[in-house]
């Protein structure tokens, strides 16, 4: 793998912002305590994280802070806990019992408020239902839900019985569900009859039925269906059960459910993410270490206080939703705001209207959303009183300085610090981010590694690049919330993350460190596209395209996109002697939507007679990327086997 020449848009960014005095004077961590944290962490990172782990509820204390046998980590070894006791039970003994854990707004404007006591009750009941259906410690359960509070209940109920959840984002197609359910060997699926999006009903249950038809997922014995939309669904007798009925039929003694204690290293969940091959990777996260780091970072980076109303706009189908909608904030006893629907529905000011109405104080969203709002104009934002906001966060892809400045000035009224947080599905929790009351921020930089995290930028030999050069972003020391593996694929875990540079975790991103020690992320260096913060392997989209009977070959590349960060351009060759079908582009788009989901749809499809390849037959995506981005090739073409393909494509582009 080699580092591509990334356009470094941040190179000239020299603006910097001190933490506002009004903010830092009341912040949980000010400059002084931050320095103290850094010092403790540097002296002994394991002891540092052990101290953080003591903020959780443990059933049995751990014996060893860290057992590190690269790439296998065991954090808080031999400790026992159940994460839901930290997220729910412990709050019931305090004033938080009657505090709202979740404030939810449906797309149609319906509002629900759920206290910690009530959330605990719902989780206990669903846990009983799961056990009645035969679910035991270590079983895998798929969750395919709209963004309703019950999605959170489903995750926590799995955790409470020691089952491993695999949340599948509601935008995924039947085909993607099938692959994920089979890979994880799920015995039960939790879904809903449907969900609302842009005023329409998304037929979740129908997708599940399609994924399961003809015994395609032989491990699944039960489908639990939450009635949300009252839409018509078919219930397969012996397999499908209504959630509400199952809860109603519980015996009295099942209304409470004691959390099952599991090992600190017991898997909490699997979450599938894209890699460079067609097959998604089931990233495995465990219990004690994961919760320690998500809880600590939630508290530090969001400066979370008792009366904050906190809104992370991510869906629970992504890692951001796991770590910063559910586990981190609930472990901290926060009030979490949840919104079911589409951001611009029914009007472009929906977000701002809700922030004003619910007095949201912390907003955590993605650059793609920020750019969308920016393009719609300031008026929609300015129409609303956003003075409740005190902190703004961003995650998912590099944020360009203009969008950062707009977020700061227009949304945050130049009063709220911005936390740009770098992390990944694999890291489980934030790794590089400012602690807002202490760290100077620069637009476009995630600033520096959090206390207890050791990151670096290195060359291909693992040598530090210093401040002059870009290179590969790596982690030098294990961290508590790190992925413990890829589900049923140890070798791939080792190969993907731990074999590029011996002893170092390789994140797959290019980066640069400036003279003040700030990290500037330059994006992915492998064949992974990041659209609106969703990582999609180019191979997955290629596989979908090639599955169409008329397509011979496909190469997918990313080009920068103002709104979505990156957009997909697909180059497609057709089988010989095929009469050209004017609707083919539309049909191919449909194929991708069916197999992966509409978010992976190419922005453009280019038909070509052949693709540029190396002598060994590898498609030279680098050249296609250049073509898609700049419209011409300027880079090295000496390894190209047949130049004519490229010439034809370039000529076409020039027209
Ligand atoms: C990739 C991870 C972490 C949750 C959402 C995405 C990119 C993420 C930032 C940031 C620059 C970022 C990286 C990373 N990324 N956050 N603040 N600045 N790039 O999780 O799907 O696992 O994707 O997203 O390229 O490797 P993910």
- Annotate 327-342 with DSSP letters as a single string: IHHHHTTPEEEEE-S-
State whether the beta carbon of 425 lies less than 6 angstroms from ligand 1: yes
| H, E, C per residue of 387-425 | CCCCEEEECCCCCCHHHHHHHHHHHCCCCCCEEECECCC
Q: Which atom of ligand 1 is nearest to the CA of 320?
A: 4
Q: Please state, rounded to an integer, the average pLDDT across all residues of the chain.
A: 91
Least confident of 66-70, 160-164, 644-648: 644-648
Q: What local confidence, expressed as pLDDT, does residue 491 receive?
A: 92
Q: What local confidence, expressed as pLDDT, does residue 650 receive?
A: 67
Q: What local confidence, expressed as pLDDT, does residue 204 receive?
A: 97
Minimal-distance CA residue to ligand 1 atom 19: 397
- The model's pTM is 0.88
| pLDDT-derived band at 414, boundaries 50, 70, 90 | very high
Report which of residues 535 and 207 the model is more confident about: 207
Pocket test for ligand 1, best of 422, 433, 526, 534 (most atoms within 8 A of CB): 422
Least confident of 37-51, 431-445, 532-546: 532-546
- Region 221-249: mean pLDDT is 97
State whether the beta carbon of 446 lies less than 6 angstroms from ligand 1: yes
Q: Which long-range contacts does 616-622 make (Cβ < 8 Å, 24+ apart)?
A: 619/553, 619/555, 621/527, 621/538, 621/555, 621/556, 621/557, 622/4
Pocket test for ligand 1, best of 521, 524, 532, 600 (most atoms within 8 A of CB): 521
| pLDDT-derived band at 475, boundaries 50, 70, 90 | very high
Q: What local confidence, expressed as pLDDT, does residue 401 receive?
A: 85
State whether the beta carbon of 323 lies less than 6 angstroms from ligand 1: no
Minimal-distance CA residue to ligand 1 atom 2: 424
- Region 551-556: mean pLDDT is 86
State whether the beta carbon of 315 lies less than 6 angstroms from ligand 1: no
- Region 445-474: mean pLDDT is 92
State whether the beta carbon of 398 lies less than 6 angstroms from ligand 1: yes
Centroid of ligand 1 to alpha carbon of 398 (angstroms): 8
User: Contact 131/140 with Cβ under 8 angstroms?
Assistant: no
Centroid of ligand 1 to alpha carbon of 317 (angstroms): 15
- Annotate 431-460 with DSSP letters as a single string: -B---TTT--B-TT--BSBPTT--EEEE-T
Minimal-distance CA residue to ligand 1 atom 10: 422
| pLDDT-derived band at 623, boundaries 50, 70, 90 | confident
- Region 306-313: mean pLDDT is 98
Minimal-distance CA residue to ligand 1 atom 5: 396
Minimal-distance CA residue to ligand 1 atom 6: 396
pLDDT (tens digit per residue) in 256-289: 999 999 999 999 999 998 766 667 899 999 999 9
Least confident of 24-28, 90-94, 181-185, 583-587: 583-587
Pocket test for ligand 1, best of 169, 395, 536 (most atoms within 8 A of CB): 395
Least confident of 347-361, 427-441, 483-497, 615-629: 615-629
What domains lie within the chain, and their CATH numbers?
87-260 (3.40.50.12780), 528-654 (3.30.300.30)
| Token pair listed for 609 | 């007679």
């Amino acid at each position: 793998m080699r580092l591509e020449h990334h356009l470094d848009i941040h190179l000239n960014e020299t603006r910097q912002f001190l933490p506002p005095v009004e903010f830092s004077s009341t912040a949980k961590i000010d400059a002084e305590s931050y320095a103290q944290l850094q010092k403790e962490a540097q002296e002994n990172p394991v002891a540092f994280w052990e101290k953080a782990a003591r903020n959780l509820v443990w059933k049995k204390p751990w014996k060893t802070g860290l057992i590190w046998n690269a790439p296998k980590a065991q954090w808080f070894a031999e400790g026992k806990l159940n994460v839901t006791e930290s997220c729910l039970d412990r709050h019931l003994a305090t004033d938080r019992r009657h505090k709202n854990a979740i404030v939810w707004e449906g797309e149609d404007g319906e509002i629900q408020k759920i206290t910690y006591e009530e959330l605990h009750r719902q989780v206990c009941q669903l846990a009983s239902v799961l056990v009645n259906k035969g679910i035991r410690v270590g079983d895998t359960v798929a969750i395919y839900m709209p963004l309703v509070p019950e999605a959170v209940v489903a995750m926590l109920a799995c955790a409470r019985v020691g089952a491993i959840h695999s949340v599948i984002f509601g935008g995924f197609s039947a085909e993607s569900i099938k692959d994920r359910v089979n890979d994880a060997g799920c015995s039960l699926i939790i879904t809903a009859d449907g969900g609302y999006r842009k005023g329409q009903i998304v037929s979740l249950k129908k997708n599940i039925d399609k994924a399961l038809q003809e015994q395609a997922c032989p491990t699944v014995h039960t489908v639990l269906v939450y009635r949300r939309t009252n839409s018509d669904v078919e219930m397969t007798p012996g397999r499908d059960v209504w959630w509400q009925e199952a809860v109603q039929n519980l015996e009295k003694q099942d209304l409470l459910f004691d959390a099952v204690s599991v090992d600190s290293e017991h898997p909490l969940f699997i979450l599938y993410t894209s890699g460079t091959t067609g097959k998604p990777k089931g990233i495995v996260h465990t219990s004690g270490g994961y919760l320690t780091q998500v809880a600590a970072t939630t508290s530090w980076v969001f400066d979370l206080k008792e009366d904050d109303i906190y809104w992370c706009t991510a869906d629970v189908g992504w890692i951001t939703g796991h770590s910063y909608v559910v586990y981190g904030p609930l472990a901290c006893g926060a009030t979490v705001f949840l919104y079911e629907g589409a951001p611009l529905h029914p009007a472009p000011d929906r977000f701002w209207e809700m922030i004003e109405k619910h007095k949201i104080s912390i907003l955590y969203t993605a650059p793609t959303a920020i750019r969308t709002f920016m393009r719609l104009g300031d008026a929609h934002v300015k129409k609303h009183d956003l003075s409740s906001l005190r902190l703004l966060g961003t995650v998912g892809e590099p944020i360009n300085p203009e969008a950062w400045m707009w977020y700061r000035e227009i949304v945050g009224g130049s009063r709220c610090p911005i936390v740009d947080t770098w992390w990944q599905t694999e890291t489980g929790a934030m790794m590089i981010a400012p602690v807002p009351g202490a760290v100077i921020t620069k637009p476009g930089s995630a600033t520096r590694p959090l206390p207890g995290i050791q990151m670096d930028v290195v060359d291909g030999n693992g040598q530090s690049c210093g401040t002059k050069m870009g290179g590969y972003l790596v982690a030098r020391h294990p961290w508590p919330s790190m992925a413990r593996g890829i589900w049923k694929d140890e070798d791939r875990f080792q190969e993907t993350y731990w074999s590029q540079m011996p002893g170092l975790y390789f994140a797959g991103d290019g980066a640069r460190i400036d003279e003040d020690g700030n990290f500037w992320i330059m994006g992915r260096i492998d064949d992974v596209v990041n659209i609106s913060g969703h990582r999609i392997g180019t191979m997955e989209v290629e596989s979908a395209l090639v599955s169409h009977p008329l397509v011979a070959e496909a190469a997918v590349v990313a080009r920068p996109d103002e709104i979505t960060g990156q957009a997909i351009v697909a180059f497609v060759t057709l089988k010989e002697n095929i009469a050209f079908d004017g609707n083919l582009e539309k049909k191919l788009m449909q194929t991708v939507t069916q197999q992966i989901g509409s978010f992976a749809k190419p922005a453009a499809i280019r038909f070509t007679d052949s693709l540029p390849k190396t002598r060994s037959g590898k498609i030279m995506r680098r050249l296609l990327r250049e073509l898609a981005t700049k419209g011409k090739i300027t880079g090295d073409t000496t390894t190209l086997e047949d130049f004519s393909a490229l010439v034809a494509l370039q000529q076409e582009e020039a027209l």
